[in-house]
Amino acid sequence: MTYHKGALLEGNLPVSILWYGEFSPAQKSIIADFLLSLNPQKNQLGSHFTTPQPSVSKRWHTIQTYMKKAGKGQTRVFIASQFSDKNCSLGKIFKKAQVFDLANQKLNSKYHGFCMSNCGFHGSNPQHNSAFIWVGNTVTPCPGQCAWPFHQPIYGTQTAPLGPPNGDVGVDGMIINIAGLFAGTVTNPFGKGYFVGSVEAPLEAASACPGEYDKGAYPGYAGE
């Protein structure tokens, strides 16, 4: 992965979440807990816990390694604010270009092309030094594309899907996509960070080898 000398999201990183549409308290908790689990966990005395492996923070250490190589500080995530719009006040379907405008208003939604082109994306507003991620719940429109390996894939080897760790195929699928996009956002927030390929279609920290979670992975099989 090549570093292009641009800004990275280092230090304390405030994250605001917009829940656009219906999300239960349990679903909100799963996603918020995942984001916080990127940080190394400490006990009340300030010592690091010995967490079961593999852990989210252990996987995230790869991203922290990129930061260190670029001479940047580590990234520590905290939830700054949360907003809910369960009635979808601006409608349920947007074109992708509109999502950029809505993100600047702390609003988000489903965009035309979801599932067909990708399962989410990240963007930024350099003028406001801010970045955003959009991810949709895939449980109804396209779990075979965007919730694999927790749902039967639509192509490749038709092995049995893995059990979703939180028992929610849609939200656990969202976490897969949030994780990859969050890695790309932190290491390439404004288009001049870590990536390979062209600026117009960069392959980032998690998209260079999509769907490969361990040794021996291939389409339809997550790896050992």
Tokens of 154: 């639509």
Any domain includes 87: yes
Any domain includes 162: yes
Any domain includes 217: no
The predicted pLDDT at position 128 comes to 78
How far apart, in whole angstroms, are the C-alpha atoms of residue 167 and residue 185? 27
* Domains identified in the chain, total number: 1
The predicted pLDDT at position 201 comes to 86
Q: Does residue 157 carry a pLDDT above 90?
A: no
Any domain includes 211: no
Any domain includes 195: yes
Q: Does residue 65 carry a pLDDT above 90?
A: yes
Tokens of 148: 């694999």
Cα separations (Å) of 129 from 10, 123, 132, 175, 189?
13, 11, 11, 25, 9
What is the band of 110 on the pLDDT scale with cuts at 50, 70, 90? very low
* Higher pLDDT pick, 79 / 55: 79
Amino acid in position 38: L
Q: Does residue 15 carry a pLDDT above 90?
A: yes
pLDDT (tens digit per residue) in 192-218: 999 999 888 889 988 877 666 666 766
* DSSP string covering the chain: -EE-S-----EEEEEEEEEES---HHHHHHHHHHHHTTSPPB-TTSPBP---SS-HHHHHHHHHHHHHHTT-PPEEEEEEEEEEETT-TT-SEE-HHHHHHHHTTT---EETTBTTTBSEEEEEEGGGTEEEEEE---TTT-HHHHSTTSS--SSS--PPPPPPTTS-HHHHHHHHHHHHHHHHHHHSSSSSSEEEE-SSSEE-TTTSSTT--STT-BTTB---
How far apart, in whole angstroms, are the C-alpha atoms of residue 152 and residue 33? 26
Any domain includes 77: yes
Any domain includes 214: no
Any domain includes 212: no
Report the pLDDT averaged over residues 35-39: 92
- What pTM value is reported for the model? 0.83
Report the pLDDT averaged over residues 67-90: 90
- Domain holding 190, by residue range, is 2-40+50-203
Report the pLDDT averaged over residues 61-70: 93
Q: Does residue 76 carry a pLDDT above 60?
A: yes
